Structure 1
Amino acid sequence: MQWDIFCRVIDNHGDLGVCWRLASQLAAPGERARLWIDDATALHWMAPAGCDGVSVIDWLDPAVVRKAVAAPPPDVLIEAFGCDPAPELIARFAEPLAAGAPARAWINLEYLSAEPYVERLHGLPSPIFKGPGAGLAKRFFYPGFTPATGGLLREPGLLERQAHFDRAQWLAAHEIPWQDGERLVSLFCYEPPELAQLLEQLAAGAEPTRLLVTSGRAAHAVGAFFANPKQPAGRSPQGFGALSISYLPYLTQPDFDHLLWTCDLNFVRGEDSLVRALWAGAPLVWQIYPQDDDAHHVKLGAWLDWLGAPPSLRQFHHAWNGFGDAPLPALETGGPWRETVRAAREKLCLQEDLVTQLRHLVAGKS
């Protein structure tokens, strides 16, 4: 089959991260996937080796679009996150089928949420009444955390690979000066309002901590903390007190997974890294993408409810995401925080993964 996935990069590369994982997994059995993207720059570090069976197409290039219009349409068109493919491509997809040819499928891949509406809307058709796609129908596909949703991206053998992972070897390969007994914490975030409080807490802790800071906005946020002229003398961007800090280069998707497998606690943001942190099975704190109307408050609450987050983890999430003015509770790398994430991962492993469910939907099996 030929799968065409359309994606627009809004910011932060999360949409692209999801779509690249999806394309790679769809192509793994020997099928073909084309990723239509308006800005593929991040793939230079996210997936520098590419993937067999996956081609990347710049849909802002008129010559490329004309060539695609002249080629046979795909078997499946996936419109990721309401990105509105070019009208001429929709028109090509909508052309009448040859006699006896299997029907084409148009999928509207939505954002991840644990809110109740996801179960109600997953799999429903959405008829098209106007434009080049008039007469067709999209099918809503909602990723999610329950059996009544489309599930999560999980490639075959993921947990088995993690079980054989050697974190000491990975740390050495990345020249991270870790010593036994030092707690490892990853930081992949936007600009959380309580970042300064987190760094102070880690520095004042009885347990030595090494913070592994990812490139981009997380590194800039930490840099802004140390650039504050009100900082006490003697503090360094490499750490202070019980806190040591290492700064990472941009990581490939497999190496980002390895970072999450390495750490005792993971701070993540957006959608793709949340899912990967759940599969990692270590305690995690999620910074949800903020929305102007505070709709992210409801979305975060629904996810914490599904997770069964203990009070301290729920309070930490609220503070980390700027809900109210309560201080950050103490971090936990074991106990209820770890048990909660491990139990959630076990539940998720009992469900079919997203690609398997997507294939079932396309084949008319669900």
Structure 2
Amino acid sequence: MNAAAPHWDIFCTVVDNYGDIGVTWRLAKQLAGEYALPVNLWVDDLKSFGHILPSLDPEACSQQHQGVTILKWSTPLPVAYTPGAVLIEAFACELPDDVKAAVKDASVRPVWLNLEYLSAEDWVDGCHGLPSFQPGGINKYFYMPGFSAQSGGLICEKDLFARRDAWQASSENKLALFEKLGLKGIAASDKVITVFSYETEALGALCEYFEQQPNPVHLLIPKGRSFNSLLPRLPCPVSELRPGMRIDSGNLHIHVLPMTDQQGYDELLWSADFNIVRGEDSFLRAQWAAKPFIWHIYPQEDDYHLVKLEAFMRLYCDNLAPDLASCWQKLNLAFNQQLPQAVQQHWEALTEFDSALEAHAKQWPIDALKTADLATRLVQFVKKSLR
């Protein structure tokens, strides 16, 4: 790599509070921890970032956390930008003019990458690694995360599955976590579902269904957008909800979760029987949790988000029995299309396949990771580009 300035720079704008920063923070930590790379993570909203990294100082221009230098991205930049070996523009964020000027004028130019959103669509393989010619005679390469061996891969730390398996080996771990989070009255045998969704009528419909079940069902929900779908069930406005609060109705018990860091969120997903997730970071971590899940994908114009959802579902269900595959797909579509009665119907139908779906959820992470994770493929891509 560039011996004069071997560091990597990652620029990220915080969108929807935790999605984009969640991905880039995991990547930065892995590059620093597993590859001993000096990584600078430039972030435009440190306050929101602090929700998943509580030790972060939202006012500091520069600080070190877990081997990563976190820099405040403001206009103008609080510290001079020096091009390093690699420049990553996360999710098409617009780089500052002084950064682009410094890259153009550098005697040794960095490998410039645009890290795109994760997708299971067929076109990803053809676009991964393509160059885009930039003013000043430098190429910016499209780096496409994906599920195929030809894509940029999936973010996954090398020890993640081992840590997950050790956690899930004993129910004492999840019970200790629930106690730590202030969640009361959850027995080891109770059904636990985490919810991190956008607004949807489907969530209220599931609550109606869970109320009538013969055994307890616990929904663990962080304060935020999911609760906007449950206003008639709340004893107070969403703004007045407090971590640890429990709202009971029949056999349904809704718990208000405190915010947690990324390790804590992983442990929460590992501890649940089923996870309802949104965005990219939570979507992938739910898969690595080896538990059944619903993906509430961000709505897009002309329902293009459903195209993305169906592309992933085809991959996920490739080797499932047809009846199970159809049921799980219909449940995900009904949740995303806000079809309350259909959600109840398909959730009920899915219970007949519990053991088969759980077995598939455990095998899927092994199959999905294939030969290498995203950080490993990224390092290999950079090395080839520097030859």
Find the counterpart in structure 2 of residue 74 from structure 1: 84
- Which of 138, 141, 158 in structure 2 is aligned with 1:139? 141
- Which of 57, 62, 79 in structure 1 is aligned with 2:76? 62
Q: Which amino acid in structure 2 is aligned with residue 169 of structure 1?
A: A
The reply on whether 1:170 has 2:184 as its aligned counterpart is no
Q: Please report how far the alpha carbon of residue 324 of structure 1 lies from its aligned counterpart in structure 2 after TM superposition.
A: 6.2
Q: Summarize the alignment of residues 142-221 of structure 1 with structure 2, pairs less than 5 Å apart.
A: 142-165=144-167, 166-177=173-184, 178-221=186-229
Q: Summarize the alignment of residues 94-113 of structure 1 with structure 2, pairs less than 5 Å apart.
A: 94-97=104-107, 104-113=110-119
RMSD value, Cα: 2.3
- Which of 331, 335, 344 in structure 2 is aligned with 1:320? 335
Native 8 Å contact 1:181 1:208 kept in 2: no
CA distance in 2, matches of 1:146, 1:222: 38
Give the number of the structure whose residues are more often helix, by fraction.
Answer: 2
CA distance in 2, matches of 1:122, 1:278: 23
Q: Please report how far the alpha carbon of residue 175 of structure 1 lies from its aligned counterpart in structure 2 after TM superposition.
A: 2.7
Q: Please report how far the alpha carbon of residue 258 of structure 1 lies from its aligned counterpart in structure 2 after TM superposition.
A: 0.7
CA distance in 2, matches of 1:63, 1:342: 45
User: Percent identity between the aligned chains?
Assistant: 34
Find the counterpart in structure 2 of residue 233 from structure 1: none
Quick one: structure 1 residues 224 and 43, their matched pair in 2 at CA, closer, same or farther if it must change by over 3 Å? Answer: farther
Native 8 Å contact 2:221 2:254 kept in 1: yes
The reply on whether 1:13 has 2:18 as its aligned counterpart is yes
Quick one: structure 1 residues 176 and 324, their matched pair in 2 at CA, closer, same or farther if it must change by over 3 Å? Answer: closer
Paired residue secondary structure (2:71): strand
Q: Which amino acid in structure 2 is aligned with residue 25 of structure 1?
A: Q
CA distance in 2, matches of 1:224, 1:136: 56
CA distance in 1, matches of 2:13, 2:76: 16
CA distance in 1, matches of 2:32, 2:232: 42
* 1:115-148 C-alpha deviation (Å, 9 max, x unpaired): 00101111111111x3xxx310011111111111
* 1:193-217 C-alpha deviation (Å, 9 max, x unpaired): 3111110111112232111112221
CA distance in 1, matches of 2:103, 2:272: 45
CA distance in 2, matches of 1:239, 1:311: 33
Q: Please report how far the alpha carbon of residue 341 of structure 1 lies from its aligned counterpart in structure 2 after TM superposition.
A: 2.2
Q: Which amino acid in structure 1 is aligned with residue 373 of structure 2?
A: D
CA distance in 2, matches of 1:295, 1:161: 36
Native 8 Å contact 2:204 2:229 kept in 1: no
Native 8 Å contact 1:223 1:237 kept in 2: no
Q: Which amino acid in structure 2 is aligned with residue 301 of structure 1?
A: E
CA distance in 2, matches of 1:52, 1:243: 39
Find the counterpart in structure 2 of residue 231 from structure 1: none
Find the counterpart in structure 1 of residue 30 from structure 2: 25
Q: Which amino acid in structure 2 is aligned with residue 343 of structure 1?
A: Q
Native 8 Å contact 2:288 2:365 kept in 1: yes
Q: Please report how far the alpha carbon of residue 158 of structure 1 lies from its aligned counterpart in structure 2 after TM superposition.
A: 0.6
The reply on whether 1:83 has 2:88 as its aligned counterpart is no
Moved more, 308-317 or 215-224: 215-224
Native 8 Å contact 1:127 1:137 kept in 2: yes
Q: Figure out how many residues of one structure are paired with residues of the other and give that number.
A: 348
Gaps of 5+ in 2: 1-5, 57-64, 168-172, 237-244
Find the counterpart in structure 2 of residue 36 from structure 1: 42
Native 8 Å contact 2:14 2:48 kept in 1: no
The reply on whether 1:264 has 2:273 as its aligned counterpart is yes
TM-score (ref. length: structure 1): 0.89
Native 8 Å contact 1:192 1:287 kept in 2: no
CA distance in 2, matches of 1:196, 1:211: 12
Native 8 Å contact 2:120 2:308 kept in 1: yes
CA distance in 1, matches of 2:14, 2:360: 33
CA distance in 2, matches of 1:182, 1:291: 36
Find the counterpart in structure 1 of residue 102 from structure 2: 92
* 1:226-272 C-alpha deviation (Å, 9 max, x unpaired): 479xxxxxxx9612111111111111111000110000000000100
Q: Please report how far the alpha carbon of residue 22 of structure 1 lies from its aligned counterpart in structure 2 after TM superposition.
A: 1.0
TM-score (ref. length: structure 2): 0.84
The reply on whether 1:361 has 2:370 as its aligned counterpart is no
CA distance in 1, matches of 2:77, 2:377: 35
Q: Please report how far the alpha carbon of residue 325 of structure 1 lies from its aligned counterpart in structure 2 after TM superposition.
A: 7.2
CA distance in 1, matches of 2:359, 2:125: 26
Q: Please report how far the alpha carbon of residue 62 of structure 1 lies from its aligned counterpart in structure 2 after TM superposition.
A: 1.7
